[in-house]
Structure 1
Amino acid sequence: MPGGYDLGTPPIHVAPDPAESPVSWLRRAAARYQISPRDVLREGGTVRHVASTGAAISRVTSPANDFTTRLGLSDDEQRALRAPTPLGAALRAYAALYRRTTPWEKATASRYCPACLADPDPRWAKDWTNPLLVICPDHHLQLRQRCPACQAAPYAGPTWLTTPAPLWRCTARTTGTPTPSGRRRRPWCDHDLRTAPTTPATPDRVRAQQLLLDYAAHPDDTVEVAGITVTGRIAFDAMTELATRPSDTGDARYLDPDRLVRDTVVALADALDVLDQPTPEAAADRLQLFLRPTSVHAPVTPAAALAPPPKNPLLGALQLDRHRHAMTATSQLLFRTAAPHAQYPLPDGHAPSTRRALRLPEHRPDRPVPTPAWIPQTLWPGALPGLGEDPIERAEAALLLAQLGSARTRAHLLVELGLPRTLQRAIIARTRHHRADGTWPRLLTDLETLLERLRARPPKIDYRNRRLIADDLDLLDRALVTGAGPGSAPLAVRRRFWELFTGGDALYAPEHLTVDVEDHSAWARHRDHLDTTHRGHFQDAFHVLDRSSPLRLGAPLVWRPP
């Protein structure tokens, strides 16, 4: 163009604020140019007719079009328009993790704060469309949902697209009155939203809203809530879960901006009433007023706890700790009630970030998840206080350790450990005896301590793979022969090598290697002699298996917890 001017972009630049909604920015641009928002979209190159608020937001925020580039916005400004606020990101993460269906992100209607619109240079905030923002954090007023004159929800319809207007003016049309010709005229409402009646929020409700915003803004920081240390994300999710309590189905339809503001205000204040208690015991007592032990949010029964969706770890700790002493032995193992705070079991396959959202910091979510591959068929002698060489006692200890925090059934774990199913009845009887004589709590605590030791320093041996390899007795025999030279190994040598290799006991060995109960004491006395005499032989056989096995076996041949 002559004169050196480039009018490819508009000469007046309207920069968006980071917390400003796309609709607000579009209205400001329209008011600055004194054309309608729809004409602003046309000037930016929009060809298709924009007939709804949702379509306008898509044009402004979609990274696939160059609309905002043509209007002179930088890349950073475009990203600011698209970026969610901390509250929006926290709610989106919550809905994804807890599998809550919500119409929130497709909603277009906005709440508003009359005092904010009365600022000299007002904006409509992104978070005014978020169903969890119900109190203005700056003015401590409950947000309004409708125009007091026409009762229209701002931006619920497309009429705002057709006129440039100050941000404080209601752009809805009224119902109007019929003309003599029968046509109905629908004049603009034009009400000044700055003058809408306001409702001041009480200090406790303001604090509830501010805490929710703080948790959303600092999801990775640790805070103390109800006497328990949690991350900001866990605290945010717990408050949001409590706010869903009217929906025991867990579908969270409450996450709708059309929900009455006063209902959400009360729900958040009730959530604060629970989580603001000084101790877990006091918080758990308050929790009973809002969540039943059978609710989907914080159940105490194994079936409900294992059913989707995931459960919040803070609410779970409060609920489970309160009921831990009335639980069955199976439930106490499942929820790991011997820990300072109980926890729900997690299914296999969760990503580390998900584990951090579903585990209290004290539960060390970054440590490895226990697996039956860590546990031998019979637990190591001395691994628990007073645990000796008795094969039934060691098998019971191994099974109980495998049950800690595991969603697998006892029958499944018996198969995993290579123990006979007939042993289940004896172990149940022994557990009942522990509970009757008062030794059960001490045993639970010892098992919990051992499991955390293993998580801190996991076994170098994969006992599951070793049990799979050892099912082929011919393979073990060939390894013994290869390691020792020509000639077959005696039965006692083969039996002892099987025990050392699998971490098992000959009482539960395969049929050709098993020892009868009557002969077990004599066999136990013979072990030391075999270990001394055939130590090198056993090591050579193990190296043969380790080099040839397609499965990871881990080394050395025998491992004990440090």
Structure 2
Amino acid sequence: MLPQQQADPSLPPSSRTGLCAIPGGYDINAWPIRVAPDPRETSASWLRRASHRYGLSPRAFLKALGVTKQIGSLRAAVRYTREVNATIEHQLRIQPDDLAALDEPTPLDRVTQSYLQLYHRDSFDRLRGSRFCPECLLQNPPLWHRTWQNPYLAICLHHAKVLLDACPGCGLQPFSDTGWLAHDAVPWRCPSRHPHGRQPGTATPGGPRPYCGHDLRTATSVHATPEQCAAQRSLLDLAALDSTITAACGITASADVIVHAYLDLLDALGSTETKDAASALATHLPMASRALQQPDITSGASAIAQLLSPTGPHAPIVANQDLYRRPHNPILGALQLRHYEHRLTPAAHLTFRCGAELPFYPMTTPYSDWGFLDELGITGPDGQPLQHPESAWNRDWPLLRLACHGRLRPPLDPAFIPQVLWPGAVPVLPDDSVIHAAVGALALGRIGNTRQFGMIALDLALPTSAATNVGATWRRLQRSNQWKEFLEQLDHLHRLLEESPPPINYRDRRILGNDVQLLIAALQDSAERNNLQQPGLRALRRFWELFTGGDIAYAPEPLAAAYLSVDYAEYAGAREHVDEENAALFHGAQETIHANAALPANGPLAWQPP
């Protein structure tokens, strides 16, 4: 920097002959060379270009501008540069907004951050290295483009060249360490230090490692094919759409969800962290693009199945606890499950909601151990702490569901499911079979989760042996070609209960109903208060059924009657008559239980879905 001429302080003010501050429109107090930031470049690129024009290292350049703190990283350099914006504006005639624009994430950066955060519980750090295009560095001025920092950008569309991941001289990715901050060099020279110390015979051993200084303009790059360029452009165009509604493989979704599917396919096909990641990524881009540009669901499902393993982590078809290890993209999941639907077990059909318009995965919550991100100091693309579970959940759940799936919800609460399904709730099941009604309730409890039928039976106060009837019912429905219809009707019922839960807590009712003496006392109290006849066994059985949503085939002793027995048949034939005779008695008994029991028994005595 040129020294500023100062007036002699010993002279009186009237006789001082200081220079005019702006002679001929030029401010002599400002630095003489203005290096304007280019909106396409990174902060590191501008720092290298500007500092080199003054023959200074980036660290010395910032120190001359007034940064007094130790600069140990590019992130620190960016932060401290903001603190001296006023000096930069005055001395270099650069507006702070022009510098701030260099740190703005691109549309692909934004969606990459949301993808890594949602699917991998990771953060995208744009300031830890950069790929490069040798031909771009030949341009004037030589810029390090912001887009090169993204792990999913593999091709320079301006020159149709595959980007290079590492310097051919030292094998390191440029700007992956902080040595360049202390070195003055032209922008096209490799800014890294040699990874293995001084080269033999070149200098005295020991001391700091020398800078590589390789001319990156001479690095050999590979031409990208038109298909690779089109695939890269497709990814960039989708990222620019943000949350705009569009379609992939005949499935309507927001552009963010489609880009996440794109990135998940690339993640499944090959890592983006290897030395030759750009070359591998350029190979995989057309494969992912072709798969997601299929015209319909059938062809899209076939294309996706060729790229993803059915037991891999991205779109598995196995209904076990591994499903909850990570979230899954709803487009990839729907296509993969649709392709393998004929191979899934009946239980998996329920877990993956195959009766819906498009199948989908159970809800996963990747936010339970969110605190580990804070402990590692991981931040978002703007350098700020990541959002915490509640706000992150509200932001992310639309990315895990398609519009036809509705809001992301947990599995249906067993409190909403009676012991046996309501008559006619699933028309394909016969109304006169208590076994089928119990199996229907078990199936309803399995939709959208991986719980074993034995555990669901315990929740519904069914004997665990009831789970053994599930397989026979499935086979009967499949033999009669009614399985698909059963899945659709059951999924429709599930949606009704999600949107309008029953006004009865069946779990509490089952707990209360297990105390037979409580029911007897409530019925006797109701009879005395309403001057009604004392109840017999049939009235007690029927009250238990209405109150709990169960069937006496699964009632506690002494109310139980074995299914298909003479006792059961006689009772079943008298149900309507018992209801007519004891309506007032039953309602009075429910009021008594609600007023005196430990658990509430409010709501109607019995309920039927609309």
Structure-2-length-normalised TM-score: 0.76
2:280 corresponds, among 257, 260, 263, to: 263
Tell me what 1:205 maps to.
228
Does residue 1:462 correspond to 2:505, yes or no? Answer: yes
Tell me what 1:380 maps to.
422
The farther-off stretch of 280-289 and 349-358 is: 349-358
Does residue 1:364 correspond to 2:422, yes or no? Answer: no
Secondary structure of 1:154's counterpart equals coil
Amino acid at match of 1:105: D
Aligned pairs (5 A) from 1:37-186: 37-43=58-64, 46-47=67-68, 49-51=70-72, 55-61=73-79, 66=83, 83-99=104-120, 105=125, 108-114=128-134, 116-117=136-137, 123-147=143-167, 153-164=173-184, 167-171=187-191, 178=201
Tell me what 1:346 maps to.
363
2:474 corresponds, among 409, 431, 450, to: 431
Deviations 1:244-267 (A, max 9, x none): 3356xxxxxx23273432111112
Secondary structure of 1:534's counterpart equals helix
**Displacement of 1:377:** 1.0
Does residue 1:495 correspond to 2:537, yes or no? Answer: no
Change (3 A) 1:368 1:294: closer
Amino acid at match of 1:224: A
Query: Distance in 1 between the 2:597 and 2:396 partners?
Result: 34
The farther-off stretch of 363-372 and 176-185 is: 176-185
Query: Does the aligned pair in 1 maintain the 2:121–2:366 contact within 8 Å?
Result: no
Change (3 A) 1:164 1:437: same
Query: Does the aligned pair in 2 maintain the 1:176–1:184 contact within 8 Å?
Result: no
Does residue 1:520 correspond to 2:568, yes or no? Answer: yes
Query: Distance in 2 between the 1:75 and 1:408 partners?
Result: 57
Tell me what 1:508 maps to.
554
Secondary structure of 1:208's counterpart equals helix
Query: Does the aligned pair in 2 maintain the 1:22–1:61 contact within 8 Å?
Result: no
Does residue 1:531 correspond to 2:586, yes or no? Answer: no
1:333 corresponds, among 350, 357, 367, to: 350
The farther-off stretch of 178-187 and 209-218 is: 178-187
2:304 corresponds, among 287, 297, 307, to: 287
Secondary structure of 1:230's counterpart equals strand
Query: Distance in 1 between the 2:556 and 2:150 partners?
Result: 63
Query: Distance in 1 between the 2:362 and 2:451 partners?
Result: 10
Change (3 A) 1:189 1:324: closer
Change (3 A) 1:145 1:395: closer
Query: Does the aligned pair in 2 maintain the 1:347–1:407 contact within 8 Å?
Result: no
Secondary structure of 2:176's counterpart equals coil
Query: Does the aligned pair in 1 maintain the 2:133–2:162 contact within 8 Å?
Result: yes
Amino acid at match of 1:523: Y
Amino acid at match of 2:180: W
Amino acid at match of 1:557: L
Q: How many residues align?
A: 549
Query: Does the aligned pair in 1 maintain the 2:118–2:366 contact within 8 Å?
Result: no
Amino acid at match of 1:526: A
**Displacement of 1:380:** 0.9
**Displacement of 1:370:** 2.8
Amino acid at match of 2:455: H
Change (3 A) 1:179 1:27: closer
Query: Distance in 2 between the 1:546 and 1:226 partners?
Result: 54
**Displacement of 1:85:** 3.2
Cα RMSD of the aligned pairs, angstroms, is 4.1
Point out the structure with max Rg over C-alpha: 2
Query: Distance in 1 between the 2:167 and 2:550 partners?
Result: 75
Change (3 A) 1:382 1:165: same
Change (3 A) 1:480 1:183: closer
**Displacement of 1:100:** 6.3
Amino acid at match of 2:337: L
The farther-off stretch of 238-247 and 174-183 is: 174-183
Change (3 A) 1:137 1:471: farther
The farther-off stretch of 337-346 and 20-29 is: 20-29
Structure-1-length-normalised TM-score: 0.82
Amino acid at match of 2:492: T
Change (3 A) 1:161 1:549: farther
Tell me what 2:327 maps to.
310
**Displacement of 1:138:** 4.7
Tell me what 2:314 maps to.
297
**Displacement of 1:449:** 2.7
Tell me what 1:224 maps to.
247
Tell me what 2:441 maps to.
398
Query: Distance in 2 between the 1:462 and 1:45 partners?
Result: 68
Query: Distance in 2 between the 1:75 and 1:544 partners?
Result: 74
**Displacement of 1:132:** 0.8
Query: Distance in 1 between the 2:361 and 2:514 partners?
Result: 34
Change (3 A) 1:218 1:539: farther
Change (3 A) 1:556 1:184: closer
